[in-house]
Amino acid sequence: MGFKKGNIPWNAGKKGLQIAWNKGKKLPNNEGSGNSNYKGEQELEYKHAHAVVAKLYGKPQKCELCGRTDAIRYEWANVTGYMGRARENWMRMDKACHYKFDKVLERKMRNEKGQFIK
Ligand SMILES: [Zn+2]
């Protein structure tokens, strides 16, 4: 839609009460579309997830657990078991913290995708 230059608007020159061009016409039925098309956030594949998160949130050189900034290596750790893009599923950790963190999580069951089984 949109007017091309030089086109006269449908209501040009009319004054007062105007009848809408679509009066009496049924508007397209939007039921069933819209929200139902929203399938929610798709989970990332475990093997790609860390790379996607690094692209989204960069590679901060700071551990969110212990706060150190001088570690040799930092990694994104999945902290929820949900491989979503949302920042809250991830924490930036130095390697040592990540290791410790994963040790704790090891006690939880994971499925073949690396997701926690609740
Ligand atoms: Zn740390």
pLDDT in tens, 38-95: 445 678 998 899 999 999 999 999 999 999 999 999 999 999 988 999 999 999 999 9
Domain contains 115 = no
Distance CA 110, CA 50 (A): 17
Domain contains 14 = no
Residue 75 pairs in a beta bridge with 93
Domain contains 74 = yes
116: which DSSP letter? B
Domain contains 1 = no
> 94 alpha carbon to ligand 1 midpoint, in Å?
5
Which 3 state secondary structure label does DSSP give 2? coil
Distance CA 72, CA 46 (A): 24
Domain count, the chain: 1
Q: What is the pLDDT of residue 56?
A: 97
Whether pTM > 0.85 for this model: the answer is no
> 63 alpha carbon to ligand 1 midpoint, in Å?
5
> What's phi and psi for 53, nearest 5 deg?
-65, -40
Domain contains 17 = no
Task: Output 98 or 39, whichever has higher pLDDT.
Answer: 98
**Residue closest to 82 by CA, chosen among 32, 107, 45:** 45
> 88 alpha carbon to ligand 1 midpoint, in Å?
17
Domain contains 33 = no
> 103 alpha carbon to ligand 1 midpoint, in Å?
14
> 34 alpha carbon to ligand 1 midpoint, in Å?
43
> 74 alpha carbon to ligand 1 midpoint, in Å?
9
Distance CA 8, CA 27 (A): 24
Which band of pLDDT confidence, cut at 50, 70 and 90, is reported for residue 31? very low
Domain contains 32 = no
What contacts 118, CB < 8 A, 6 or more positions away? 81
66: containing domain? 46-106
Domain contains 90 = yes
Q: What tokens were used for 80?
A: 């929820």
> 80 alpha carbon to ligand 1 midpoint, in Å?
18
